[in-house]
Amino acid sequence: RQKLIQHNTIDDAAKLLRRSRKIMVLTGAGISTSLGIPDFRSKGTGFYDKVRSLGYSAGEEVFDIIEFDRDPSVFYSLAGDILSDLNRFSPTHAFIKLLQDKGRLQTNYTQNIDNLEELAGIDRKRLIQCHGSFATASCRKCGDRVPGSTLFADLRAKRVAKCKRCEKAIAEQAKQPKPPPLPTKKKPPSKFKLRKNDWESSSGDDEDDNIPTPGVMKPDITFFHEKLPDTFFDRFTEQDSKDVDLVLVIGTSLKVAPVSEMPHHLPPEVPHIFISKEAIEHVNFDVQLLGECDDVCFELCRRAGWGLRHEMIPKG
């Protein structure tokens, strides 16, 4: 997108805030780091650096659905670190809520999975959780959906969570009287099977292979190779791509498609403001306000003449 030359400074940004009525806010992990939740790509402190330091080649593989279905223990051994059941939110969340209270928030598209927008009071109708969240979880086998919090103990204990509904069904099935075995062709007695500690004669009936196993639970986070929720595409294409008057992008490296594509699908006359610690080269923002997003939001509100009331999170 082309930069609009008339907007450059933080005062311009404050003026844009005051004059806009349909603000689209696009957020990323940077808005929750002041609460102690790591972001993904910051050098040294980001979750993916930690994952790499444990020997995984790419941090993203933790959130890859193909890897998850192959071996869910990788996700379960690491995801506890980004799990949040905090009962507080950041000043930046409070800023977005303030926009809503002032009737200026069109939609908050969040890439975050911590669900803190809900805690901050962002209206469900104005919130699109582009990458899902930990709020609910589903079984990969039977699809049963449960509150995400029921997995938290397993995530913290680094234990793969199994589906309770599948477990119940298996237990019920085990109680049913077994039908008489069908006549089978006798297999040659010479077959041996490797067991844990010994060699043991096997009848050749590979019973173990037929034992039903419960499905693995997965938080309803959108993994790589999974489609984003329909609400994301519907709301953006049918409404917001035609009907916003300001875009605020806060605390994201904007590296993950399709969210990273959103600025390119908005009318060129809609101003874009970027608030984050690190500048972004691949999108032309009209104003880039670099720093701690909580500080920037306070300052923007001060210059807009709005009171943002929220306790600052002590640093360090």
| Residue 253 or 288 with smaller CB distance to ligand OAD | 253
Closest CB 177 distance from ligand OAD, rounded Å: 46
Taking the CA of residue 162 as centre, how many other CA atoms within 13 Å lie in the half-sphere pointing to its CB? 9
Sign of CA dihedral 169, 170, 174, 180: positive
Q: 248 forms bridges with which residues in the sheet?
A: 25, 273
Q: Which residue has the tokens 């400074």?
A: 9
* 16, 252, 271, 297: residue in contact with ligand OAD (rule CB under 6 A): 252
Pairing state between β 23-27 and 246-250: parallel
Restricted to residues 168-207, the positions that interact with ligand OAD (CB under 6 A) are none
* 4, 20, 28, 108: residue in contact with ligand OAD (rule CB under 6 A): 28
Is 131 noted as a catalytic residue in this protein? yes
Q: How far is CA 182 from CA 75, 186, 307, in A?
A: 41, 12, 77
| Residue 166 or 287 with smaller CB distance to ligand OAD | 287
Site stretch for ligand OAD (CB under 6 A), options 39-47, 140-148, 202-210, 300-308? 39-47
How far apart are alpha carbons 96 and 105 in whole angstroms?
Answer: 7
Within 10 A of 152 (CB to CB), how many other CB atoms are there? Answer: 18
148 forms part of the interface with ligand OAD (CB under 6 A): no
* 20, 39, 127, 151: residue in contact with ligand OAD (rule CB under 6 A): 39
Closest CB 268 distance from ligand OAD, rounded Å: 24
User: How far, in whole angstroms, is CA 221 from its chain's centroid?
Assistant: 5
Site stretch for ligand OAD (CB under 6 A), options 34-42, 121-129, 182-190, 299-307? 34-42
Restricted to residues 216-235, the positions that interact with ligand OAD (CB under 6 A) are 221-222
Q: How far is CA 78 from CA 47, 81, 82, 224, 239, in A?
A: 9, 6, 8, 16, 37
* 46, 91, 214, 215: residue in contact with ligand OAD (rule CB under 6 A): 46
- Residue 25 three-state SS: strand
108 forms part of the interface with ligand OAD (CB under 6 A): no
Nearest alpha carbon to residue 72 among 214, 255, 170 = 214
Binding-site positions for Zn(2+) read 139, 142, 163, 166
The residues assigned a catalytic role are: 131
Positions in the binding site for ligand OAD (CB under 6 A): 28-30, 33-34, 39-42, 46, 60, 63, 111, 113, 131, 221-222, 251-253, 255-256, 276-278, 292-293
